[in-house]
Structure 1
């Protein structure tokens, strides 16, 4: 019973290991970038879901605690409060954007290294060893596919975050009224 459970866990791990071996060393870089990217994306989802409402409420209470809210100074304080919340919403977005851009570039690097492997096989054995050439082509296409998939999945998230930052900044600006 225990052996069947262990085998059930090890089978997917073996498949992942075979996939990583077929993609070459560049696929490991893509994997590390993907883990970091999705950790940051999940952190941003957590921030918008759990942290931002509390932060927005604290800023509103700080604004409402002011005696006057119409002077030039009050307007600068309002802008500073909105700017602080905006900065906290944008804090990891540049890193996410860099990782999104990096994944397809890693995929391209995998393509180049895989094609070099194909050319090496052709130089050593000619075009008669189709199996060795297929391994190089596989090593060329798997990182490309992985880099594109990770990059596209991150691209959807970053666009959603940017839109959310814009909406939340405008909402906070509307909630911090000048009356007082």
Structure 2
């Protein structure tokens, strides 16, 4: 287990894993890296910048002298909408990637099974040793797609909950007198 802490051993293990899963697993890996880059960006936003968005909306509202007119209500709605837009940035992309990764895993299953059937057609037999490579190419991408999807699903649900809470917080802070 400690040998995987060695970068060259970890790289070789990653290459073996990708080779066992086929080309679809490489696509799943790139999708997972992109999704996790967006998740990390959102984590940084929620830990550092969220309060600034709320304070900016409060300052803009406090700077106004008129809080009762129709125009003031429109400005308030705009400030709430801008804060909501900022808190929900990239949520749609992350949600789409969460939905795409199991489908990519299914594509890996299909391509792996096609390889199994191709081996069966070429050899004319159902030799288990020959089919094992195709079976692994069928199951590994499915597993990887589901794992990536589940990990993203946990975070996107939390981010959407945080965004609704922040929207309510901004709405409550921008009181109409």
TM exceeding 0.5: yes
**Corresponding residue for residue 109 of structure 2:** 111
Instruction: Tell me if 1:76 matches 2:41.
Output: no
Cα drift, residue 89 of structure 1: 1.4
TM alignment of 1:77-156, pairs within 5 A: 77-156=75-154
Following the alignment from structure 1 to structure 2, what is the Cα–Cα distance between the partners of residues 8 and 72? 65
Cα drift, residue 129 of structure 1: 2.5
The unaligned stretches of length 5 or more in structure 1 are none
Following the alignment from structure 1 to structure 2, what is the Cα–Cα distance between the partners of residues 17 and 138? 15
Cα drift, residue 122 of structure 1: 0.9
- Matched residues, number: 174
**Aligned-residue CA RMSD (Å):** 1.4
Following the alignment from structure 2 to structure 1, what is the Cα–Cα distance between the partners of residues 6 and 172? 54
**Corresponding residue for residue 47 of structure 1:** 45
Cα drift, residue 25 of structure 1: 0.3
Cα drift, residue 128 of structure 1: 4.6
Cα drift, residue 126 of structure 1: 3.1
**Corresponding residue for residue 166 of structure 2:** 168
Cα drift, residue 68 of structure 1: 2.1
SS of aligned partner of 1:127: coil
